[in-house]
Structure 1
Amino acid sequence: MAEPRNCSECNDSLYGQQFILKEELPHCIKCYETLYCDNCIACKQLIGCASKDVLFKNQHWHGKCFLCTRCNQSLVDQPFATRDDLLLCSACYCDEFSAKCHACLRVITPGSKKMEHKGFSWHENCFTCKLCQETIGTRSFVQKEANNYCLICYEKTFALQCFHCMKPIISGGVNYRDQPWHKECFVCSKCKQQLAGRRFTSRDDLAYCFDCFCNLFSKKCAYCTTPINGLGGSKYISFNEVQWHKECFNCKKCCVSLVGRGFLTCNNDIFCPDCGKGI
Structure 2
Amino acid sequence: MEDYKVVLDGPAPWGFRLQGGKDFNMPLSISRLTPAGKAELTGVNVGDWLLQIDGESTTNMTHIEAQNKIRAAGNKLSLALSRFSLGLSNQPKVENIEKQDSRNASTKYGQDVMDFPPPPPPPPSTGPAVRPPWTTDASFAERYAPDKTTTVMTKHSQPATLTPVQNRSSILQAAQPAPSGEKTPICSQCNKVIRGRYLLALGRYYHPEEFTCSQCHKVVEEGGFFEEKGSIFCPRCYDVRFAPNCAKCKKKITGEIMHALKMTWHVQCFTCAFCKTPIRNRAFYMEDGQPYCEKDYEKMFGTKCRGCDFKIDAGDRFLEALGFSWHDTCFVCAICQCNLEGKTFYSKKDKPLCKTHAFSNV
So what's the TM-score if we normalise by structure 2? 0.38
State the structure with bigger RCO (CA 8 A, min sep 6), 1 or 2. Answer: 2
Larger radius of gyration: 1
